[in-house]
Amino acid sequence: MLISETLRKHPPAPATVRVVTKPYVLPGTSVQLDVGVMIMIPIYGLHHDPKYFPDPEVFNPENFNDELKANRPNNSYLPFGDGPRNCIGKTEMCFIWNRH
């Protein structure tokens, strides 16, 4: 929980960029993302959004207890990105965490 909270407060990268590979309409809007458009995912912004992390400026390892993690959307915590182009550090950290 300490490592996860540290990475939430200080993510290795403030944002990540992806290219749209198939047309997509943002849920709840009429905004369509066309193939080839580059989008920026604001990792720092997600990690400091009070909707996902109450009182986001406070260092609180309890943000990563089992109950709070289960109630948070999957992609609201992205210290290493996600998907097929995520950071190799994610794989290494998962290996280390799962050994203990």
Q: Which tens digit of pLDDT belongs to each residue from 28-80?
A: 999 999 999 999 999 999 999 999 999 999 999 999 999 999 999 988 999 87
Selection from 76, 87, 69, 81 nearest residue 48 by Cα: 76
For the whole model, what pTM was predicted? Answer: 0.77
The domain of 82 spans 2-99
- Continuous H helices in the chain: 2-9, 43-47, 66-70, 88-99
Kindly tell me if the per-residue pLDDT of 99 is higher than 90: no
Kindly tell me if the per-residue pLDDT of 97 is higher than 70: no
Cβ(52)–Cβ(25) below 8 Å? no
Number of domains in the chain: 1
Mean pLDDT in residue range 88-95:
53
Kindly tell me if the per-residue pLDDT of 14 is higher than 50: yes
